[in-house]
Amino acid sequence: MKSGYVALVGRPNVGKSTLLNHLLGQKLSIVSRRPQTTRHRILGIKTDGRGQVIYVDTPGIHGGARRAMNRYLNRTAISSLLGVDVILWLVDRAGWLPDDELVMARIKEAKLPVILVINKVDRIEGKDTLLPFLAEANATGLFSEIVPISALKGINLAVLEERVLALLPEGEPIYPEDQISDRPERFFVAEIIREKLFNRLTQEVPHALTVQIEQYRESPTLVRIHAVIWVEREGQKAIVIGKGGEVLKRVGEASRRELERMLERRVYLELWTKVKHGWSDNERALQGLGYAE
């Protein structure tokens, strides 16, 4: 049996969370079209007859991190490289962007086996783009394997899993066989609400909001959840609420539907929007809102 930790790293928006969800066959990490959706280190544990792979989803590593939140995202991603056995480095196009260079520097420091995962091949037009890129990546000598995939369409994921298992050490499972994450249910509740907000709101508002669960009471048939959506300014609060409360109502409905499926119980969800000025650029406020390593 194999067992070990596998970090999913890469710049924002390359598809790390999409890959985690597809490998596990279950939605654990929220996904949106926006960069910097993932804000936490999340374990996704997959146990089968071959062993136990503990995937570590991480925030996207990016440059120009001026706000405290951006620095926290980079710190969280980089510290996730400590103590893993294998790194999956995701890129999503045939070529490097400046943020990919940042990731590469960190990976070189880690001195671990690295699989270069070229994601979104469903979007790459023709072999003319992919083949030179594969040759160039190969010539760096940095990678144990190079695997083109589509996380969204499920292309080549079985091959990727085999390559991962081959690089992991032999060992007994670290977590119980039926455990799929290290996070409690209320963490996923906050994340699902945040995902619905990310998908509905535009411009800077998603990055200025965070969701905090203030009350979580369960009975065998019902879960009562009281969540606060923190934003940074009054104008953002008005946008989150929407005309006549329309946006908040839609977000609440979509969240409740998904939460009822996940929790397999009826959900009573109350959402409040409040302003905490400058929370995303304040280290202490971040810690109070759950952004602590």
Ligand X SMILES: Nc1nc2c(ncn2[C@@H]2O[C@H](COP(=O)(O)OP(=O)(O)OP(=O)(O)O)[C@@H](O)[C@H]2O)c(=O)[nH]1
Residues binding ligand X (CB under 6 A): 10, 12-18, 31-33, 35-38, 59-60, 119-120, 122-123, 150-153
Place of tokens 């923190």: 230
CB of 178 to ligand X, least distance (A): 25
The annotation status of 199 as a binding-site residue, yes or no, is: no
Q: Which two tokens mark 277?
A: 């000025």
The annotation status of 122 as a binding-site residue, yes or no, is: yes
The annotation status of 17 as a binding-site residue, yes or no, is: yes
Report the C-alpha dihedral over residues 291, 27, 42, 50, rounded to 10 degrees: 180
CB of 153 or CB of 257, closer to ligand X: 153
φ/ψ of 59, rounded to 5, equals: -65, 160
CB of 153 to ligand X, least distance (A): 6
Place of tokens 């995937």: 55
The annotation status of 13 as a binding-site residue, yes or no, is: yes
CB of 94 to ligand X, least distance (A): 14
CB of 149 or CB of 259, closer to ligand X: 149
Alpha-carbon distance 75 to 58, whole Å? 10
The annotation status of 15 as a binding-site residue, yes or no, is: yes
Question: 16-24 vs 157-167: helix axis angle to the nearest 10?
Answer: 90
CB of 69 or CB of 241, closer to ligand X: 69
Alpha-carbon distance 100 to 14, whole Å? 10
CB of 272 to ligand X, least distance (A): 25
Check if the beta carbon of residue 142 is closer than 8 Å to that of residue 108.
yes
Annotated binding residues for GTP, as ranges? 10-17, 57-61, 119-122
